Amino acid sequence: MQNYGQMPNIPMPPSAPQRLYGQVQAGDRVGGASFGDTVSQMLGKANNIMAQPENLSIEAVKTGKVDIHEVMIALGKSEVAFKLITAMTQKVVGAFDKLTSMQV
């Protein structure tokens, strides 16, 4: 006979540490790269993604060995990368505007 109305055994989430140790200094780098290096690396990857549809379409016309579906998928990835860069740029400009409008 089943026990209706009783909750099954639900696992509990792990407990958080009671106290965090350490301090962050101004020159500390997390992960070995600065924010500027990380942004530059991300922009480089996005640039490569955005150049891929053109390269694939040129190769498709020249050799005919590239499937049109690959070109369309690369075009979709390029569009997403462009939207990400645009959103990131808008956030940076918005943050700059907020900083410049602050009164000291």
**Amino acid 38: pLDDT:** 81
Is the pLDDT score of 23 beyond 80?
no
- Closest listed residue to residue 44, CA positions, set 71, 17, 73, 81: 81
**Whole-angstrom distance, CA of residue 69 vs CA of residue 59:** 13
Is the pLDDT score of 8 beyond 70?
no
The answer for residues whose C-beta is within 8 angstroms of residue 68's C-beta and 6 or more apart is 60
pTM: 0.59
Average pLDDT value over all residues in the chain: 82
Tens digits of per-residue pLDDT, 56-80?
999 999 998 988 899 999 999 999 9
Q: Is residue 66 within 8 Å of 60, Cβ to Cβ? A: yes
